[in-house]
Amino acid sequence: MSNELKDKESNESKLSRLDFFKTVAGTGGAVAAVGAISASVQPKEVYAALLDTNISEDSVLSKMKKTGKLKVGFSQTKPNFYRDAKTNKLRGIFYDATEFLGKQCEVEIDYQEVSWGNATVGLRKGDFDLFVSSLTYTVPRALVINYAGPIHHKGAVGVVHKDNAHRFKTHADLNSEDVTFVVTLGDASANQIKTNFPKAKIMEVSGQLTLVVETVSRKQATAFIGGDFDIEVIAGQNPWMHPVWPAFDLLPNTWACRYGDPEWKYFLDMFCNRMLSTGDMKKFFAKYREELIDSK
C-alpha cells in the first residue's frame, strides 16, 4: 500500500471517530466517546469536538448558556402566573413550568413583569427573550411572535353575573347586540369574541384581569371570557359569577419567542413537548387545583 493511500485512510478514520464523538456527546455519552478516540486524537481536537454545537453565537440558546441567565417576561393571571398577596412571591402553573426550565438548563431566571398589552411588543423589542405566561394561540399574534410548544390546550368559558343567568344558558345566547364583553388590552379573548360572538360589542380596559372581573361584577359590561381552569378558580372565589359551560375553542396554550432564532425555537418546541408528554404540566395543574379549588 502506498504512503499516500495510508495517509488517506488514517485521515478518514480520524474524521469518523470525531463524528462519532459528536453524536455520542450529544446524547450523554461524552465519557465513553473520549475513551474511544483519545488514543488516536489529540486533546485539543477532542475538546474542539465537544464544543462544536453549530449553535449560532447570536442565538438566545447560546447566550443563555454563556451567561447562565435567561431573561423572561410575564403578565399576571391567577392561577397561571401571579404574585402571592401574602408572601409577595411569584407563583402559578406557568411560573412552575418556567422554574423547571431554569433548573433543567442550569440557568438563573430573570423575571420582568409586563402588561398584557405590551407583552408581544416587549418580546419583539428584545426586553426579554421568552414570554412565559399562559399565552393562547391567535393568528394575529402568530404573525408577529413565534409560538413554542404547545404545553397545554385551553378551552374558553364565558362568565356573566348570576343575576343574568336566566338570560345566558348557553354561549349562543351571548351572541347578541345587547351583550357587551369586556377584555384587557392585548388579551387573546378579543379575537375569540369577534369570531364566536360577532353580534356582541367589545369594551377594552387597561389593566389586569381583576379590572375585567370588577366591570362585570358592577354590571358595566355583560360578560368576559377566561380559560376553563382559570374560571373554575375565579368563580370559586366570586359567588356572583355564573360561568356558561361547556367550554369552547380548545386552543394551544404556551410560551412565545421572537422570529429569527431557529435554534432557540427548536429547543423550546422539544422542551414544551417534553413537559406535555411526560405529564409535568398535568402535575403543575393538579398542584394548584388541589390548593385553589379542591381544598375550598
- Take residue 254 and report the three cell numbers written for it: 404556551
Residue range 243-258: mean pLDDT, rounded: 96
Q: Tell me if 212 sits within 8 A of 205, measured CB to CB.
A: yes
Does pLDDT of 171 surpass 60? yes
Does pLDDT of 46 surpass 50? no
Q: Tell me if 253 sits within 8 A of 136, measured CB to CB.
A: yes
SS3 state of residue 41: coil
**What is the percent of the chain where pLDDT is above 90?**
72
Domains and CATH numbers, the chain: 3-51 (no CATH), 60-152+253-294 (3.40.190.10), 154-251 (3.40.190.10)
Does pLDDT of 258 surpass 50? yes
Mean of the per-residue pLDDT values for the chain?
86
Partners of 204 in the beta sheet? 183
Looking at residue 3, what is its pLDDT? Answer: 52
Judge residue 178's burial from the number of C-beta atoms within 10 Å of its C-beta, 0-12 exposed, 13-18 middle, 19 or more buried: exposed
What confidence tens digit (pLDDT) does each residue in 218-234 have? 999 999 999 999 999 99
Lowest mean pLDDT among 8-17, 97-106, 138-147, 165-174: 8-17
Rounded CA gap, 52 and 296, in Å?
A: 53
Looking at residue 49, what is its pLDDT? Answer: 47
Q: For residues 224-259, b (16+ Cβ closer than 10 Å) or e, as one string?
A: bbbbbbbbbbbbeeeeebbbbeebbbebbbbbbbbe
What confidence tens digit (pLDDT) does each residue in 194-208 have? 999 999 999 999 877
Largest CA distance in the chain: 95
